[in-house]
Amino acid sequence: MSTVPPRACGEVCSDAAEVVIVTGLDGDQATGIDPAGVTICFAAELVAPLALGARVLVHAGAAIGRIA
């Protein structure tokens, strides 16, 4: 699974999550758009069930929470 394409700085922080809008669902996997406009793929089972358009917090390739 490829989660996020490399960014210019080549860094991802070890403990910061980002808000992603869900654009696709496929079982335990989902795709979404991150704040930079990049489409990412992430594990979704920890916040299941999800709906398209939901906003979730994604960290290290897994959604860990929902944004109300």
Chain residues that interact with another protein, rule: CB under 8 A: 1-4, 6, 9-17, 42-43, 45-48, 57, 59-62, 64-68
Smallest separation, CB 45 to another protein (Å): 7
Smallest separation, CB 22 to another protein (Å): 15
Q: Are 59 and 35 in contact (CB under 8 A)?
A: no
Smallest separation, CB 31 to another protein (Å): 14
Q: Which two tokens stand for residue 44?
A: 């979704």
What DSSP state is assigned to residue 7?
A: P
Q: Which two tokens stand for residue 10?
A: 């080549």
> Toward another protein, which CB reaches closer, 45 or 52?
45
* Distance in angstroms (rounded) separating the CA atoms of residues 43 and 29: 5
